[in-house]
Amino acid sequence: MPEEASIRIGVDVGGTFTDFALALPQGIKSLKLPTTNNAPEQAILDGVNRLLGDNNISPDQVTGFIHGTTLATNAIISRTGARTALLTTAGFRDVLAQGDESRFDQYDINITKPEPLVPRWWRYGIPERLSAEGNVLLPLDEDAIGAIAADMRSENIESVAICFLHAHTNPDHEQRARDHLQVLLPSVAISLSSDVSPEIGEYSRFSTTAANAYVQPVMSAYLERLQSGLTDQGIKASIFMFLSNGGLCDLDTARRFPIRLVESGPAGGAVFAGNLARELGEEEILAFDMGGTTAKVCLIDHGVPGRSDSFEMAREHMHRQGSGLPARIPVIDLVEIGAGGGSIAQVDSLKRLHVGPTSAGATPGPACYSRGGEAATVTDANLLLGRLAANDFTGSGINISVDRARDVIAEQVGKALALTDSAGAAAISEVVEEQMAGAAREHAREKGIDLRRRSMVAFGGAAPLHAVNVAAKLGINRVIIPQAAGIGSAIGFLQSSAVFEISHSIRVLMSCFDASLFNQHFAAISRNVSAAVEAAAPGIPVDETRTLFMHYKGQGHSLAVEIPTRDLTDDDAVLLLSAFEEKYISVYRRPLAGIDVECVGISLRMSSNEDLLPVRNIINTGPADVPDTTDLFDLMENDYANVPTMSRSKMEPDTIFQGPGLIKDDGTTVVVPQGYIATCYDTGHLVITLQGDQA
Amino acid sequence: MTSSPQNNPNDEIRFQVIWSNLISIVEEQARMLMRTAFSPVVRDSGDLSAALFDRQGRMLAQAQTGTPGHVNSTAAAVPLMLEEIPLDQLDEGDHLITNDPWLASGHLHDITISSPVFRAGQLIGFFACTCHQLDIGGRGQGPDAASVFEEGLAIPVLKLVKKGEVNADLMKMIRANVRTPGEVEADILSYVAANEVSAQTLCDALDKLDLDGLESIGDQIINRSRTSMIDEIRKLPRGKATNSITLDSFGTPVEIICTLEVGDDGLVLDFEGSSQASTRGVNLVYNYTNAYASFGVRCIVGPDIPNNTGSLSAIKVKAPIGSILNVERPWPVCARHIIGQFLPEVVMGCLAKIAPDRVPAEGAACLWGIQLRGGPEIDGNFDRDEAWGSGRYETLFFNAGGTGARPRQDGLSATAFPSGVKAMPIEVVESNAPIVVWRKELRPNSAGEGRYRGGFGQDIEVATIDGRPCGLFAMFDRTTVQARGREGGESGSFGKLGLTSGQDLEPKGLQIIGPNERMYFELPGGGGFGPATDRDPGLVGDDQRAGLYSVNPDADDD
């Protein structure tokens, strides 16, 4: 950047809180405000105003504004998106309703499947048909569009998804239908499946496109209000949006593909953890983010979070896999499970203790909040175990009652399992930790990764309470609890570069490898990707990755294989095959001989190559008033033991804090179990290691 | 604080951790099978089962995928395979294979691989999986054969892999007997790999948990599951209930009769009185009958109790030898899933008489899998260069009718029950074989009316892309007997199939579809629950607006 100092603002709008990170040359300032759900820009404008005022910065000094929001996700979950229609191949009106025709729970006869975002009366079939190869079997009936448009107009349709079978192989029919429709309905937003998600599989492609259309008018209007609000306040910097793949895009791209913003909060957290790992020289980490409702785990190698090409939105039945709406969009590959501070504990008829995925949320909240919550939650357990104290919540306006926590745990857990209330609380903690460890274990296994060599980076309000125990279950001996862990996502936004990627389905046997075909497709995608990146980061050098999705011919699932970022030659077939085989062995152990390898898709990703903001110089605001000791429940002894306690603000680089004990931070507590030692980097990040294991 | 005298909290918590660990290992086994399999019905539809057994052959954990017919049959298969090749004849690195219908899941198309797990030289248990093959030689999948000998290659219990070495002779034998040798071989090897990876994961987990084997944890899982299941059964009123169902079957209708008895220590299902065995391949082996019948109970009684040998042991299934539900070798059994998928309906009908507020109405039950074959075996043209190449294909895609209305909700439209398999994307179906699916959408007016209506069936139209003839392996039911409503609910619509040019097609058996014909399939809807007059008018209005329900449906929407 030029000599003029960079002053950037990151804003993460979550369901409960709006988090701000203001990056100044001397360090990062943070702010948390309640989200204003009806008009989210209101909290943003208030917060920006306050942050700038408190730090004597005038709005025109701000050089960058980066924003992520759950608005798109919330519109889908709460079904408050646009009046959306689907125009599809005649005979396939119900693709969105039929899905994969299965039940996500084999034994539960009372499941509810997710309602499509577009009701059947707004799903229109039009005669047209392509073959799997993209050849025209039935020409588009352009004359039929007029009547459909008239019907859409009388239904006050605001947004249309055009989704034809096999459109990913040939977009011509979709494009022509759009051209006609746009003339007839000029004010209606239109999304094409061949633009939004040009990949095989009609249910996931249609679902992604319908969701894009559904949130587009809402997002577009919101972004306009935000932009004009910021301009009115005198902010001249460009606004960038944070994507679920961990990159940035400009406002125009965000308006066209709002579906790509859905998981931006968790993605911001992953970017934050990745950059921290890079800064600290941690080659391979497990990022562990635990908030009020969910916990997220993400594998990060060399500072770069893993990626995935699909995601499930708005899961019914509490995050059960298969109960949501599929979205094929580039996302940071993380696992999110219903385990957080508000997760509710229950004992079933088999005397099995379950924690989550139902959450008490912020209202009514855990029983100990005394706001009418009747359920035993993880936060209640932590309070009873002595990890949290009533005065940790000072300033939050919440009146904490340890007795309420004790009563509900005794009633709902202790009684059924014949445990004391304290042992019941320990069981809740143990089970939720095991669930999070289980999610991490399964995710790692799926990727063929051994977690034991990794460090954990733990952030989010509830993570410091459970991080070391979760790590221990995973065989991880080193846990890092960064500064400003509570606003990790907003900081992550500030640390990102412009990133955009497009995937495309193509089907080629490697035995018939034709380099020119690949070069042609990559060239076409490259133009679109580079336009998006250039818009967000003009003039900045760009890094590029190219990926092939490959499998043995006949398999249904493919592996992502990175390939050189240059034009391919026919001789490269050997190189690509050996890269595939290496990947296959690393995931599935045994390669298969004598079966042709097939490429089923390509992907190209570009990111601007910028200097990233280091996470340091965060003004440390740990609580001032901390008792020297606390009574902490010890499950092995089945009794409370008196352990040392200190404020995080007192942790200096030479401080050695020996477990068992508690390090109190703002609104949360770092639990340092027996046998662990906490130390501190000069940047203020805590490191907790197994005794005798520290570097 | 005092500790509770009867319960050491550490032991209890540790037990729960171990149990959930074992379940997550088999879930991963199933996912890996889907990712590496070649058979489209496994990789896209999840027609498989994956489970962990202890060294006695007791199923301790099972993945929630595939069909109950696979899952609960695998539970029976592992102990039966152990009778053929006992523990002392198993070495580290061995993998057993079989497709014997009477040992495993009731027809030759399912291959079961059971792999002993060794830890520190000791055999501690088994991982087993059962997966569906599109082709296993013989006539092809359908009820046409007169005996099991015509139905394809039979593989007795053999060591496919001995001490890590693949038995090349056996593999050569298998390859020589199937239409797609490359896929079948690769598939079988992917099953072996999935079991191997799971074994390694299990051993790592046991190391971390400081456990030597599965015995003591197995006892706890089995005992607790059995006890919980019996507790649930005891909550039902004591006594007997009988229910029967008539099916199209093949030619002559078949009647299935079930008497359910709630006892002190479990539940007995007796199929005495059911029809005699058929001369065509719609018969069931006992294992398969047991599997689906038990599943019907498990959906209603204690559905949240994990499925394992313990929970299954509280249900006893009896079927007379020689009846269509318990045939002996060499009766034909290939299309056994048709009647199999109706057994939960029959059993649930018994339960409805005992616990009426918990049981849904009847649904389409049997999946309408459309299995097509093209090439020389259909058109007799063996001269073409492509005869055994691209012109020849064998393809299958699953389609579901409507489920029965639930006591407090509508039925699910176009959704599989009791099967747990998934429908493949049509774009993938059309990439696999030279066919075009011209239509696949919900079938209006097919749901049985009621306070809660049944699920809608669906309409499908299929043709070959080039107008060439093809073979249809028809395995469809509910074309003469509707899904009945419950508590005053109406029946769902019959299923129907034919050519759009006018001719009807038979619901069972191989039929050649002539050039340039288009097939249509109208899948059955589910029955309703409660009187239709009680239905919320708002919901009726929604269905009308959606075009799924009309008061006076057109004649061609019948």
Q: What is the pLDDT of residues A318-348, one digit of tens each?
A: 456 778 899 998 899 988 887 888 889 999 8
DSSP single-letter state for residue A619: P
Amino acid at the residue A262: V
pLDDT score of B161: 96
* Residue A474 contacts residue A284 (beta carbons within 8 Å): no
Is the backbone peptide bond immediately before A364 cis, with ω within 30 degrees of 0? yes
For residue B414, the chain A residues in CB contact (below 8 A) are 94, 97-98, 101
Q: Give me the mean pLDDT over the A341-362 stretch.
A: 83
Q: Does pLDDT of B97 surpass 60?
A: yes
Cα A357 from Cα A380, distance rounded (Å) = 16
pLDDT score of B10: 63
Q: Does pLDDT of B15 surpass 70?
A: yes
* Residue B427 contacts residue A202 (beta carbons within 8 Å): yes
What tens digit of pLDDT does each residue of A600-644 get? 889 898 988 776 566 556 655 667 778 889 999 988 888 999 999
> What is the distance, to the nearest Å, from the Cα of residue A41 to the centroid of all Cα atoms in its chain?
21
Q: What is the mean pLDDT of chain A?
A: 88
Q: What is the mean pLDDT of chain B?
A: 91
- Closest C-alpha to A198, from B41, B356, B276, B427: B427
Cα B136 from Cα B187, distance rounded (Å) = 12
Q: How many CB atoms lie within 10 A of CB A135?
A: 12
List the domain boundaries for chain B.
Answer: 11-224, 363-558
What tens digit of pLDDT does each residue of A508-567 get? 899 999 999 999 999 988 988 888 888 777 788 889 999 999 998 878 778 889 999 999
**Local structure of B145: helix, strand or coil:** coil
**B439, A92: Cβ pair inside 8 Å?**
yes
∠ at Cα A490 (A297, A250), nearest 5°?
Answer: 105
Q: Give me the mean pLDDT over the A54-81 stretch.
A: 87
Cα A339 from Cα A358, distance rounded (Å) = 8
Taking only residues 492 to 511 of chain B, the set having a beta carbon closer than 8 angstroms to any beta carbon of chain A reads none
Scan for tokens 């309640």, then name that residue: A34
**Local structure of A434: helix, strand or coil:** helix
Q: Does pLDDT of B426 surpass 60?
A: yes
Q: Where are the alpha helices (DSSP H) in B484-550?
A: 537-545
- Closest C-alpha to A45, from A65, A63, A25, A30: A65
* Residue B430 contacts residue B520 (beta carbons within 8 Å): no
Whether A555 and chain B come into contact, CB under 8 Å, resolves to: yes
The CATH fold assigned to B11-224 is Beta-Lactamase (3.30.450)
Cα B233 from Cα B248, distance rounded (Å) = 33
Strand partners, A162: A87, A192
Cα A298 from Cα A285, distance rounded (Å) = 8
Question: Maximum Cα–Cα distance for chain A, whole Å?
Answer: 81
Residue ranges of E strands in B155-213: 158-162, 165-166
Q: Which of A112-116, A442-446, B533-537 has the highest mean pLDDT?
A: B533-537
Whether B398 and chain A come into contact, CB under 8 Å, resolves to: yes
pLDDT score of A677: 95
What tens digit of pLDDT does each residue of A589-607 get? 778 877 889 998 898 989 8
Cα B214 from Cα B309, distance rounded (Å) = 14
- The per-residue DSSP string of A495-559 comes to T--BEEEEEEEEEEEGGG--HHHHHHHHHHHHHHHHHHHHHHSTT--EEEEEEEEEEEBTBS--E
For residue A557, the chain B residues in CB contact (below 8 A) are 34-36, 43
Q: Give me the mean pLDDT over the A48-70 stretch.
A: 90
pLDDT score of B59: 95
- The per-residue DSSP string of A201-254 comes to -HHHHHHHHHHHHHHHHHHHHHHHHHHHHHHHTT--SPEEEE-TTS-EEEHHHH
* Residue A459 contacts residue B41 (beta carbons within 8 Å): no
> What is the distance, to the nearest Å, from the Cα of residue B448 to the centroid of all Cα atoms in its chain?
25
pLDDT score of B9: 56
Cα A480 from Cα A191, distance rounded (Å) = 43
For residue A588, the chain B residues in CB contact (below 8 A) are 32, 35-36, 190, 193, 197
Torsions phi, psi for A672 (to 5 deg): -110, 100
Q: How many CB atoms lie within 10 A of CB A631?
A: 13
Q: Does pLDDT of B518 surpass 80?
A: yes
pLDDT score of A317: 55
Residue ranges of E strands in B220-311: 239-247, 254-263, 266-270
pLDDT score of A503: 79
pLDDT grade for B351, boundaries at 50, 70 and 90: very high
How does B181-213 read in b/e, with b if 16+ C-beta sit within 10 Å? bbbbbbbbbbbbbbbbbbbebbebbbeeeebeb
Cα A509 from Cα A550, distance rounded (Å) = 10
- Closest C-alpha to B115, from B84, B75, B161, B80: B161
Cα A15 from Cα A292, distance rounded (Å) = 10
Scan for tokens 């070798």, then name that residue: B329
> What is the distance, to the nearest Å, from the Cα of residue A45 to the centroid of all Cα atoms in its chain?
24
Q: Does pLDDT of A308 surpass 60?
A: yes
What tens digit of pLDDT does each residue of A98-113 get? 999 999 888 999 999 9
pLDDT score of B556: 44
- Closest C-alpha to A104, from B64, B364, B68: B64
Cα A649 from Cα A645, distance rounded (Å) = 12
Rg (CA), chain B: 24
Q: Where are the alpha helices (DSSP H) in B260-342?
A: 286-300, 309-312, 337-340
pLDDT score of B159: 97
Amino acid at the residue B549: Y
**B303, A635: Cβ pair inside 8 Å?**
no
User: How many Cα atoms within 13 Å fall on the side-chain side of residue A357?
Assistant: 15
Q: Give me the mean pLDDT over the B497-506 stretch.
A: 96
In this complex, the residue of A105, A352, A589 whose CB is nearest that of residue B193 is A589
The pLDDT > 90 percentage for chain B reads 73
Q: How many CB atoms lie within 10 A of CB A1?
A: 9
Q: Does pLDDT of B555 surpass 60?
A: no
pLDDT grade for B3, boundaries at 50, 70 and 90: very low
Shortest distance, CA A250 to any CA of chain B (angstroms): 33
Name the least confident of A171-180, A404-413, A495-504, B111-120: A495-504
pLDDT score of B386: 52
Whether A548 and chain B come into contact, CB under 8 Å, resolves to: no
pLDDT grade for A316, boundaries at 50, 70 and 90: low
Secondary element (H or E) of residue A312: strand A311-313
Q: How many CB atoms lie within 10 A of CB B415?
A: 25
Residue A83 is encoded by which pair of tokens?
């009046």
Residue A208 is encoded by which pair of tokens?
């992604």
Stretch(es) of chain A classified as CATH 3.30.1490: 499-608
Q: Does pLDDT of B427 surpass 90?
A: yes
Q: Does pLDDT of A291 surpass 60?
A: yes
Query: B93 vs A156, A238, A456, B90, CA distance in Å?
Result: 66, 62, 36, 9
What tens digit of pLDDT does each residue of B230-287 get? 999 999 999 999 999 999 877 788 999 999 999 988 999 999 999 999 999 999 999 9
**B440, A92: Cβ pair inside 8 Å?**
yes
What tens digit of pLDDT does each residue of B143-175 get? 999 999 999 999 999 999 999 999 999 999 999
pLDDT grade for B557, boundaries at 50, 70 and 90: very low
Task: Assign domain A499-608 to its CATH architecture.
Answer: 2-Layer Sandwich (3.30)
Whether B232 and chain A come into contact, CB under 8 Å, resolves to: yes
Residue A243 is encoded by which pair of tokens?
């994507």
- Closest C-alpha to A66, from A250, A211, A190: A250
Is the backbone peptide bond immediately before B330 cis, with ω within 30 degrees of 0? yes
Q: Does pLDDT of B296 surpass 70?
A: yes
Name the least confident of A671-675, B15-19, B80-84, B211-215: B15-19
B9-36 and A572-588 helices cross at what angle (nearest 10)?
Answer: 150
Cα A113 from Cα A119, distance rounded (Å) = 14
For residue B370, the chain A residues in CB contact (below 8 A) are none
Scan for tokens 């509508």, then name that residue: B410
Amino acid at the residue A144: A
Q: Give me the mean pLDDT over the B470-487 stretch.
A: 95
For residue A111, the chain B residues in CB contact (below 8 A) are 412
Is the backbone peptide bond immediately before B320 cis, with ω within 30 degrees of 0? no
For residue A113, the chain B residues in CB contact (below 8 A) are 412, 415
Strand partners, A551: A598
Strands A559-563 and A499-509 come out as: unpaired
Taking only residues 496 to 525 of chain A, the set having a beta carbon closer than 8 angstroms to any beta carbon of chain B reads 507
Residue A441 is encoded by which pair of tokens?
């274990």
* Residue B359 contacts residue B344 (beta carbons within 8 Å): no
DSSP single-letter state for residue A411: I
Per CATH, the number for A8-76+221-261 is 3.30.420.40
Q: How many CB atoms lie within 10 A of CB A34?
A: 10
Q: Please enumerate in sequence order all residues whose Cβ is within 8 A of that of A560, keeping only pairs 6 or more positions apart, or say none.
A: A307, A547, A548, A549, A583, A603
Cα A368 from Cα A396, distance rounded (Å) = 13
Whether A107 and chain B come into contact, CB under 8 Å, resolves to: yes
Shortest distance, CA A595 to any CA of chain B (angstroms): 7
For residue B23, the chain A residues in CB contact (below 8 A) are none
Residue B442 is encoded by which pair of tokens?
């919900």
Scan for tokens 């139905």, then name that residue: B151
The pLDDT > 70 percentage for chain A reads 94
